[in-house]
A = this chain, B = another copy of it.
Amino acid sequence: MQLHRDDVVDGALAILDQYGLADLTMRRLAGTLSVQPGALYWHFPNKQALLGAVADRILAPMDRPVVATDWSGALTELAHRLRDCLLTYRDGAELVSSTYASRLTTNKGRERFSSAVIRAGMPRDQAELAAYTLLYYVLGHTVDEQSRMQMDSAGALADPAGEPADATDPTARFDFGLQLFTAGIRHRLGADAH
């Protein structure tokens, strides 16, 4: 039976989640789809384009509407949702991060960030810069968080009183930086809320 674009993305996502980004090769993917490596190049021009499609799939939940009504609530919600998307699949953060860099994913998160900041009353060009800033933070933080998770689950034997080991809850750590960011926006808006 026929191999469709979506089947290829499905297969790629399965390999990613089970074996990680390093093992997501065109040859291996072809193997699990019971097809020759060259067949994949009829559906995608190259590996980067395939990874872009995988990233889009991972980020699909970013399109759903947001419940918060105030701008800072909406921004916090969107940032958390982006992090959740990235944490859903193994190496999801790393994959999306590198795909953002090569600019062949429709960067859904960033657009929604910026419109939330525009709704807060910031001029469009500044709002876009702010959205980038938040995006860099979420990606950087989550890549780091996820790579630590994998290091821990691998070498749970190690760490004989190495460092304080950051006992704090990862979500609380994430919120700290997020609050730093929203406070910065609020200051920029001149909202002396008192």
Contact = CB atoms under 8 A, between A and B. Distances in A.
Copies in the complex: 2
Contacts of A181: 133, 180-181, 184
B188 A183 contact: yes
Interface in A91-148: 94, 101-103, 125-126, 129-130, 132-133, 135-137, 139-141, 143-144, 147
Nearest to A148: B103
A47 interface: no
A173 B129 contact: yes
A159 to B, nearest CB: 13
10 contacts: A129-B177, A130-B176, A133-B180, A135-B140, A136-B177, A137-B137, A137-B140, A179-B188, A180-B181, A184-B184
A119 B182 CA distance: 23
Contact of A141 (B126, B132, B180): B132
Contacts of A180: 130, 133, 181, 184-185, 188
Contact of A101 (B137, B147, B173): B147
Contacts of A141: 132-133, 136
Interface of A: 94, 101-103, 125-126, 129-130, 132-133, 135-137, 139-141, 143-144, 147, 151, 168, 173, 176-177, 179-188
A73 B130 CA distance: 21
Contacts of A183: 183-184, 187-188
A30 B30 CA distance: 33
Nearest to A140: B136
A180 to B, nearest CB: 4
Contacts of A126: 176
Interface centre among A102, A143, A179, A180 (most CB of B within 10 A): A180
A184 B176 CA distance: 10
